[in-house]
């Protein structure tokens, strides 16, 4: 958070570097309201939302999300080679995303674009099909693990491996319900959210799925910290530059807001979006053509 004092006026620039999306910007807005109402001062707050989850209302694309998806795809390019190290190998690629499956879906899509361009020698068992994405599990889609297990077992039987991209928020409700039924305490963080690192959805589903597909070895790999620490790609650098330029202009004229493409406005212009309209937890739109096409091509039904 950067503060600039101009006589009795205060300009605050917030860069939300949290994975949740809107906490820093929300608190800055509350500070603005407090100073204005309680002390009669003037404060301008410009928010710059950085979250790889891309789950902030009503912003179309948050900083870092596209970069993280590209880096996650690159990460899995190396991890997937482990499928040749053991017969009947199950690899689960766990991506960040508590409430939104955007990062998991976008990472899978970018990885599929990469692997589709690769050429493989026909006599060898490794192929485009064996290295492809076989399942995409995200919070927005109901997960019938028994049905998915039956579908993925056919892939395991044919290729000797199976690759699933899993959002860390997938199946959390089911896991919590199971823990409560067993009388176990559900771990939570300071914000009251279920502590995903402690309930570990990747480990939970790897055990369930491994039994269903008959895996002899299971590998769970998490690309989140690798992906979100990467330098911004060209897409994000251009988005940041446009939002920063508009943010400076808004600050000069005294207009507060969180910078981004406003999905609720015609043409989705980049503007200072009013803070009361900013909130996290925006779900990924599973009806988008590219996502529907991806699931159709890998044979996964949209339940």
The whole-angstrom separation of Cα 187 and Cα 252 is 45
Write down the catalytic residue from 6, 16, 22, 53: 53
Confirm whether 53 is a catalytic residue: yes
Backbone angle region of 54, left / alpha / beta, with phi > 0 → left and psi within -120 to 50 → alpha: left
- Which runs of E-coded beta strand occur in 60-160? 89-95, 135-137
CA dist 9 and 19 (Å) reads: 30
Q: What is the DSSP letter of 54?
A: -
Helices (H) and strands (E) counted in the chain, each on its own, are 11, 9
How many Cα neighbours within 13 Å face the side chain of 163? Answer: 25
Strand pairing class (257-261; 42-49): parallel
Question: Which residues have a catalytic role annotated?
Answer: 53
């Amino acid at each position: 958070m950067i503060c600039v004092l101009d006589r009795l006026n205060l300009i605050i620039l917030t860069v939300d570097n949290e994975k949740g999306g809107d906490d820093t910007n929300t608190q800055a807005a509350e500070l603005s309201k407090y100073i204005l109402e309680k002390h009669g001062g003037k404060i301008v707050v410009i928010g710059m939302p950085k979250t790889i989850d891309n789950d902030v209302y009503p912003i179309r694309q948050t900083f870092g999300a596209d970069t993280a998806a590209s880096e996650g795809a690159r990460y899995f390019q190396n991890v997937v080679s482990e499928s040749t190290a053991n017969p009947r190998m199950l690899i689960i690629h766990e991506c960040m995303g508590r409430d939104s499956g955007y990062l998991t879906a976008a990472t899978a899509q970018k990885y599929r674009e990469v692997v589709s361009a690769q050429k493989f020698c026909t006599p060898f068992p490794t192929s485009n099909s064996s290295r492809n994405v076989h399942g995409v599990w995200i919070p927005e889609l109901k997960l019938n693990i028994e049905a998915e297990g039956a579908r993925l077992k056919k892939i395991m039987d044919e290729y000797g491996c199976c690759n699933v991209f899993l959002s860390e928020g997938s199946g959390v409700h089911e896991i919590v319900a199971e823990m409560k039924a067993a009388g176990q305490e559900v771990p939570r963080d300071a914000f009251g959210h279920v502590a995903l690192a402690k309930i570990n959805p990747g480990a939970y589903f790897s055990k369930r799925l491994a039994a269903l597909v008959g895996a002899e070895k299971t590998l769970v790999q998490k690309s989140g910290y690798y992906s979100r620490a990467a330098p911004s790609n060209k897409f994000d650098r251009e988005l940041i530059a446009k939002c920063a330029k508009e943010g400076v202009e808004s600050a000069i004229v005294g207009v507060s807001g969180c910078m981004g493409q406003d999905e609720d406005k015609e043409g989705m212009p980049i503007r200072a979006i009013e803070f009361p309209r900013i909130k996290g937890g925006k779900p990924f739109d599973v009806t988008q053509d590219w996502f529907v096409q991806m699931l159709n091509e890998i044979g996964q039904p949209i339940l």
